[in-house]
Structures are given as structure tokens and as C-alpha cells.
Amino acid sequence: MCPSLLCQMNRSPSLLRQLLCRRWIWHQLSPLLVFAFSLLLLFHVTTIRNPRRYEESQTAQEAPTPGLPQREGASERRPGGRVERVAGAEVTEKPPPPPPPPLQRLPSMGGSWANPKQWMAYPRAVVAEGEAALTGARRVTLATQASLDRLALLPELVSHWDGPVSVALFTPDVEHPLAAAFVAYLRRCHAVIRQRVTFSLLVPVNRPPRPLGGSGQFASSPCGATRETLSSVLRRRPASVTAWRQKIPYPQNTLRNLARNASLTEFVWVVDVDVVPVAGAASALNEFLASRAAHSCGRCVFVVPTYEVDERERFPESAERLLELVRKKRARPFHEKVLIHNQFATNHSR
């Protein structure tokens, strides 16, 4: 209430009201009242903006004293999780799941952040048995990347390349144990894959490997039925995982870099998994890179021409057969009808 109005309402005020009616009293009290209100507001804002600190102080005050019985509703830490007593009942958090079997487990060492940091990379998780001999004899590593559903293309690619091969696999969620089983199958049934291919893994941080019961059985599937075995493997994926995979962008460039960085040779040839090199390409590139023409350029990228071949035709085993298919319109430069501008770095006339 305004002091002047208070004085007008009572013509014979008491001592307190007489003091309140003096204006100089209000001039003295006003700064103090403003200061007190500011302190109260500051405490209120601090409590709202940092409630955790306030709660921690309250929790510290309520922490049980060692040696004294705990009251009902208190909590304590025990191995294997937190046990809470609520109204006399005991509720225990579920213990962490056991680690997956060895076939399904990621390597315990070597994991590193890929760039951007939404992926976990495991370079050289499975190393080719003949890598040491191949890297000593060849100067070029064939680097490629694939997801689980494309792994059936790998045997044909590797059979045409008698040098080291670096493959980066995208293995999220339950696709990791399935991919591990299928890689074991490929290594058992295809000696060229076991001897030449080194596998690296890329895993999304938000979709880490998850065990899948019975996935290991595919590792012992009959040889000679690669595509049929892969079809059986893919049918084991839950519908939720398949739907999620269709929505996310495939990390193609991250996988390419992972495969390239996992190679041990001086040169790397980066291709897609459905690109099949001509037989003897590893030896031919060795000879070319040792030639004077290759050494005359210090900072060069060598472009290898790529063609699409009609699926009804057998794979051409020579340049002469390839040119014959081009004349018959059964082969054409890669993506000539899709995006010809990407092929301008290649001089197909040579």
C-alpha cells in the first residue's frame, strides 16, 4: 500500500504508521528492499538452472552412514547393478548381457573412431593368410567395400585379381554376426579369398553388433552354393533391421577410405565390389608401374577404363574380345547412359 494513502486513511496513526508516513524513511529502505529482492531472485534462478547440484547436496545429506541400519527406501551399490528397496520390495536392474560368441565378437583391439565420429572402425579385423607374400610380389592392392547383401560378388572379383585385396564391410546390428558367419564360409570354400583378402569392419555407434542365435551355422554350409547360402543368411535379418537399413545413407566413402588405409602396398586401386578386373591385371599393373612412363610423373593418378558388359555375355578374357563386344553393342563404357560426365577422365579411344 502506498504510504501517502496509508496516512490519509488514518488521521491519528500509531508510531509505526508515523514512521511509514515519513518519506525519508522510504528513501532509506528502498535500496535495501531492492537488494534483498535481487538476492532472492538470484537464488531462485540458480536452483532452476543447476538443479543437479542442489539434488546432489540433498543426496549427500541423506546418504546412509556406514555401520548404521538403512531406513526403508534407501539404495545401495552392489556388484552386478544397483539394488533399490522401494516400500519393502527389492528391484534389481538387469545385469549386462554376456559377450557374444567368438565368431560374433568384434576384435577386442584396434577399434578407432572413423570420420565423422558416428562410426567405429576395425581395420584389418581378418587378415589374409598369404598377405605377406602377396604384398612383397605386388605393388597394387585392390580395395573395395561392401554390405552383407553384396558379399556373393566377392569370389568372382578375387578370382580375377592375383594380388592383395582389402575389403571394408558395413556390419551394423545383427548383420555383424551374420557377416562374420558368411565371411567364415567364404574363407572355407574359396581358397583365393582365404589367401588374398583382408577384411576391415565399420560399425555405426548407434547400432553396435548384436548377437543372433544360430547365425554361426552358416559358416559350415555346403560349398558351391554361395548365392543360396547368402539368401538364407539375409532371411535371418529381422524386419526392423531391414527397414532401418533402407532408410540410412550407405557410408560409401568412409568404407572406401577404410579399405584403402588398410592396404600395405605402395599403390591402391579402388573399385566397387561389382567391378571385375581383367585376369592378369595385377601383373600388368606391376609392369606398368615399373616402366619409365609411370616414373616420369611424380604426382599422377592412373585411370583404368571400365566397361559394362551385357549380362548374357561371358566375361571377356582379353582386350580384343572386349572391343569386339563394344562393336556389337554388347558392351559400353561404364555409366555411359547414366552419367557420361563422370567418365571424361577416361580416354576410351586409346
Q: What is the pLDDT of residues 151-166, one digit of tens each?
A: 999 999 999 999 999 9
Q: What is the pLDDT of residue 146?
A: 97
Model confidence over 208-217: pLDDT tens digits? 898 888 778 8
Number of separate domains in the chain: 3
Same domain (yes/no): 121, 194:
yes
Same domain (yes/no): 264, 243:
yes
Same domain (yes/no): 140, 164:
yes
Quick check: 226 and 189 in contact, CB under 8 A?
A: yes
- Give dist(CA 33, CA 31) in Å, integer: 5
Q: Examine residue 71 and state whether it is found in any structural domain, yes or no.
A: no
Same domain (yes/no): 152, 187:
yes
Same domain (yes/no): 342, 230:
no
Same domain (yes/no): 134, 202:
yes
Domain that holds residue 45: 3-49
In this prediction, residues 242-262 reach a mean pLDDT of 92
Q: Examine residue 64 and state whether it is found in any structural domain, yes or no.
A: no
Residue 205 one-letter amino acid:
V
Q: Examine residue 337 and state whether it is found in any structural domain, yes or no.
A: yes
Q: Examine residue 81 and state whether it is found in any structural domain, yes or no.
A: no
Same domain (yes/no): 27, 147:
no
Model confidence over 275-299: pLDDT tens digits? 999 888 999 999 998 888 888 887 7
Q: Is the pLDDT of residue 125 over 90?
A: yes
Q: How confident is the prediction for the chain on average, in pLDDT?
A: 75
Quick check: 301 and 268 in contact, CB under 8 A?
A: no
Better-scored residue on pLDDT, 339 or 54: 339
- Give dist(CA 210, CA 251) in Å, integer: 20
